[in-house]
Amino acid sequence: MPPLLGHLGLSPQRPLYKAYKQDPDKVRAYLTKTYPEAVSEAKRYGARLYFVDEASFRSDAHRGTTWGKIGETPVVRDSGGRFGFKLISAVSARGDLHFDVIEGTMNADTFIAFLQKLRHDAGCPVFIIADNAKYHHSKKVSAFLETQAGQIMMAFLPPYSPELNPDEQVWNHAKAQAGKRSIRNKQEMEAVIFATMQAIQQKIDLVKSFFRLTDTAYAKDFG
């Protein structure tokens, strides 16, 4: 680092990326009204509060570094094929992590099926906070929630605000780990992703740490 920049109090840092479409007023409303109301409603029904998100893993996405001779870029052989794998997960500030594979297209039906499974596995009512994917707001999901009588409830993050969702860190961590592996086919990808997700699931302190970042600390005290 050039000495002048150091004297100015600057250092090399990884930047945080935020969508330019993000509305600060909507973020403020979420933090001061939507989220506190969600916590209040969850307490009323004895519900556990989960953040939910979906992600895709691709065979041609690689992360990480490896050692090599100076001036010679290392080459890691892979299958050259392109295939993917989709998952949905939910995390709580208690350190819980639930996940499932998405077979086919993610839509209202598959989302509802995951919510039902999450409620069953949690063993108590659940309050979901999700992003603004179109099917999250669908009439079918809304109609389903109306039948749940406080067993499954949902609120939404402000648009273009993934940094407020602790569940995003599950994917960041999982993709960083899986992206270092050489995967030859979809079966290997499935095995690697499952092993990675199960490893995260067993590390309760790691999952809790996803709620301690600057943008997610608002949710660390209720799970």
Q: What is the pLDDT of residues 97-122, one digit of tens each?
A: 999 988 788 999 999 999 999 999 99
CATH, range 27-63+76-219:
3.30.420.10
**pLDDT confidence bin for 186, thresholds 50/70/90:** confident
Going from N- to C-terminal start, the domains of the chain cover: 27-63+76-219
Tell me, what's the pLDDT at 15?
52
Tell me, what's the pLDDT at 67?
52
Q: What is the pLDDT of residues 18-48, one digit of tens each?
A: 566 899 999 999 999 999 999 999 999 999 9
Tell me, what's the pLDDT at 188?
84
β-sheet with 126-130: strand ranges across:
97-101, 84-91, 48-58, 126-130, 152-156
Token couple for 9: 């109090």
Buried b / exposed e over 23-34, threshold 16 CB at 10 Å, is eeeebeebeeeb
Task: Tell me the average pLDDT across 66-95.
Answer: 70
pTM, two decimal places: 0.82
Residue 10 makes CB contacts below 8 A (sequence gap 6+) with 1
